[in-house]
Amino acid sequence: MENKPFIFGVATSGDNFTDREKETLRLVLNFQHGVNTVLISPRRWGKTSLVQKACSLAQSDKLKIVYLDIFSCRSDRDFYDAFASAILKQTSSKLDEWLEHAKLFLSRISPKISMGTDSMTDFSISLEINPKSNNIDEILQLPEKIAQKKGCNIVVCIDEFQQIAEFKDSKTFQKRLRSIWQLQKSVSYCLFGSKKHLMNELFEKKSFPFYKFGDAIYLSKIETRDWIDYICRRFEATGKRISEKLAEKICQIVDNHSSYVQQLAWLVWIHTDKIATEQDFETAYQDIIDQNTPLFEKQTESLTTYQMNFLRAIIDGVHSEFTTQEILHKYQLGSSANVSIVKRALVKKELIEIEKRQVIIPDPVMAVWLKRELRM
C-alpha cells in the first residue's frame, strides 16, 4: 500500500509530522529533566502526535516512557486497572519481570491477570481493591518503585486526562493522585486531553488539586508558512504540484486547524491530476463539508431553540454582549440568565469556546456548515 501524502484523524509521525519543533524540544527537555507537563489545546490540533514524537526522541535505557489513554475509564477503579496494566507492560521486556513486579509491588492487592494470545503484550489486570483503602497507594507508587528498582527514570503520559473530572467524587480522587505523584523523585507526568474546557478547569482553577501541577504548554496553531511548505513538499513527493497560493488558501479557509488542513489537502490531492487547480480546490472543499455533515447534524439535532439561536447570533458576527436588549430580542434568547445557561451548555458540548471574552465556534468547517443551514 502506498503511503498517503496527508494523514488526518489519527496520530501522525515521521514525514507526516509537521513543524512543532519548539514544542517538541520543550517536551523532550521536560521528560529528560523530570518536569511534570500539562498540555492544553482544542481537539484535533495534534497533541497526541506531539507527545508521541517527544516520547520517541526522549526514550532511552535510562528513561522509560509509559503511555496510556484513559478515554474509556468511567471510574477510579477503571483508572487504577488501566494505570497498573500500562506501567507493568511498558516498563518490563520479559513476562517473568512484569509478573515479579506485580507480585513485589502490588502485594496487598492480589491482582488478577488474564492472558491473551501474546503473553508479552496481550494481558489485562483486574485489581481486587477497595478505592477507599490505603492499598491504592501501592498502585500509584508502582512507577516510582519500578524506577528505583531498575535505576532509571519514568515518564507517564496520560491521554484524555480530563476523564477524571467525570468520576464520582472526582476532587477526592484528584487529591489522592496529586498527593502521591508530587512526592515521587524518579517519575514525572505528562497530562493532556481533548476537552479543552475540562482541562482548563482541572489545571487553572485554584480550588482544584492539580492547580499549577507542572509546566503548562498551550498548543497554538501551526504557522501558515510552515503549512505551505509542508503541503507543497508532499505534493512534489508524489509527482504532483500545487502553487503556494493554493496551499495558502487551504490553510486560510480552515483557519490553520491541523486536522482539517491535512484532510482538505488530501482531498485536493485526490482531485489533482498533475497540477492542482482552483476547481480541484472548490470540489475538495465541498467534499469536506459533505463528509462532515452527518457529524454536524448529530451534534446539533438535540439542541434547544435557544441554543440554535445563540449559534445563529455567532454566525452573524455577534461574539460578545449577548445580554443587551437588542441582541436578546433580535435572536430570541430569552433573559440574561438564560443566556448564561445556554452558553454553559454549548461550552460543555464543545460547540463554542470563549477566547479573550469573545465567544467563537472553534470548528471552522462547522461554522461554514451552520451558516449555510441557518440561512437556508
Q: What domains can be seen in the chain, in order of their start residue? A: 20-218 (3.40.50.300), 224-298 (1.10.8.60), 302-374 (1.10.10.10)
192, 159 contact by CB (below 8 A): yes
Q: Given this model, what pLDDT does residue 356 score?
A: 86
pLDDT of 6: 85
Grouping H, G, I as helix, E, B as strand and the rest as coil, residue 294 is: helix
Angle between helices 336-348 and 305-315 (to 10 degrees): 80
Per-residue confidence of the chain (376 residues) as pLDDT tens digits?
A: 456 788 775 555 445 455 688 899 999 999 999 999 999 887 778 788 899 999 999 999 999 999 999 999 999 989 998 998 899 889 887 666 767 777 677 766 666 667 666 655 566 666 666 555 557 888 899 999 999 999 999 999 999 999 999 999 999 999 999 999 999 999 999 999 988 888 989 999 999 999 999 999 988 888 999 999 999 999 999 999 999 999 999 999 999 998 899 999 999 999 999 999 999 999 999 999 999 999 999 999 999 999 999 999 999 999 999 999 999 999 999 999 999 999 999 999 999 999 889 999 999 999 999 999 987 5
- Tally: H helices and E strands in the chain: 16, 9
Under a CB-based contact definition with an 8 Å cutoff, are residues 115 and 149 in contact? no
Which pLDDT does position 210 carry in this prediction?
96
Nearest to 67 by CA among 45, 89, 46: 89
pLDDT computed for residue 18 by the predictor: 57
287: phi then psi, degrees, rounded to nearest 5 = -60, -45
Contact, 224 vs 230, CB < 8 A?
Answer: no
pLDDT of residue 124: 64
pLDDT score recorded for residue 1: 42
- Per DSSP bridges, beta strands 112-115 and 123-126 are antiparallel
**How is residue 127 written as a grid cell?**
485489581
Alpha carbon distance 101, 229 (integer Å): 48
H or E element, residue 215: strand 215-218
Looking at this protein, which amino acid is placed at residue 362?
Answer: P
Answer positive or negative: Cα dihedral of 370, 41, 270, 291. negative
CB-based burial, 184-202: b 16+ in 10 Å, e otherwise: bebbbbbbbbbbbbbbbeb
DSSP string for residues in 234-282: HHHHTT-B--HHHHHHHHHHTTT-HHHHHHHHHHHHHH-SSB--HHHHH
CA dihedral 108, 109, 114, 118 (to 10 degrees): -60
The dihedral sign for the CA sequence 260, 158, 161, 215: negative
Which amino acid type is present at position 113? I
330-355 core/surface letters (b: 16 or more CB in 10 A; e: else): ebebeeeeebeebbebbbeebbbbee
Q: What is the per-residue pLDDT for 138?
A: 87
Contact 309, 339 (CB under 8 A): no
The H or E element spanning position 153 is strand 153-159
